[in-house]
Amino acid sequence: MPVHISDHYFDQNRNYCGLYVVSKIELPDFGPTSELIKIFDMRGIILITISSHQKDNIAYDFVIVDLTGKKHLKEEIRKEILDKFGKRLLLFECVETGVPGFIYNVKGFPLVFNFCDDYIPMAALSINSWRNLLEGLVDRYGAGGLVIIWHMGNDAGEEKARQIMRLKGDLSCTDRIKIALARLQSFGWGRFEIRECDEDGKRIVIRVYDNFEDLVTKDLKGYQNNFLEGYLVGLISILFGKACRGVEQKCIKKGHRYCEFLIR
């Protein structure tokens, strides 16, 4: 299921409208998000997207609707929201970006990754940005660029492992690896599968379907997935408390359905 980090819309021929609504939740009698949907549905207004977050019985809703040909309804909508929400309404704003026809969740900052109620700020890169970053290093520094990329991944993997090691509970190394890989999948790095994990023999085999690094480097001849390999080596070295080595033994570029890494 695709997960949208953010939605940006631009069409100078459309009249997009953004609404930011913060209100109290009083279930089962009053659900703010559903009430907003009803208001737009009753007027036949196209609801493009709605982002909702709830915490401590407060709902934070950002709504983007298309008011093209129905701009006159904007004031009606505002009045109905004020009327229906009443004292439960904590904040209401009509959002403008300053660029006609352009709308996005202006209130959507910072981007955070919620890990057990630990809200970690994120700074996402698009696939195109990753491509420019990796290709730029290889173009400028050749084999040296590959070494830099590997160590970038290795350092990142080690740091992430240290965070995972701080998790409390009766967790095996395999459990901690599963949690770490789940985080990577949620970041869009690929779909991860542990095919083998011999904690005694210190041998781990990880398959990656839809590997993001393979996607962004498909035009780099001879490139192996140095960043992800370095990341996995760093991650597992810390989790197992012993220096590891890694090799990519299967790769999408070589005709396999997935990339597969062996870590010893």
Give me the pLDDT at residue 148, please.
97
State mean pLDDT over 124-133. Answer: 95
pLDDT bin (cut points 50, 70, 90) of residue 118 is confident
pLDDT in tens, 72-89: 999 999 999 999 999 999
Backbone angles phi, psi at 70, to 5 degrees: -135, 25
CA distance 109 to 157: 26
State the amino acid at position 172 in one-letter form: S
Residue 199 has pLDDT above 80, yes or no: no
Give me the pLDDT at residue 33, please.
95
CA distance 182 to 205: 16
Give me the pLDDT at residue 3, please.
87
Write the DSSP symbol of residue 254: G
Long-range interactions of 76-82: CB distance < 8 A, separation 24+: 76/43, 77/19, 77/39, 77/40, 77/43, 77/45, 80/39, 81/19, 81/21, 81/36, 81/39
Give me the pLDDT at residue 135, please.
96
What six digits make up the tokens of 218? 């498909």
Specify the DSSP element, H or E, that contains 230: helix 226-240
Backbone angles phi, psi at 108, to 5 degrees: -80, 70
pLDDT in tens, 139-178: 999 999 999 999 999 999 999 999 999 999 899 999 999 9
Q: Can you give the pTM of this predicted structure?
A: 0.87
Domains annotated for the chain, with CATH where assigned, are 9-109 (3.30.70.260), 125-263 (3.30.1380.20)
pLDDT in tens, 4-53: 899 999 999 999 999 999 999 999 989 999 999 999 999 999 999 999 99
- Which residues lie closer than 8 Å to 228 by C-beta, 6 or more apart? 153, 189, 208, 211, 213, 259, 261
CA distance 168 to 230: 26
CA distance 167 to 155: 20
Residue 201 has pLDDT above 80, yes or no: no
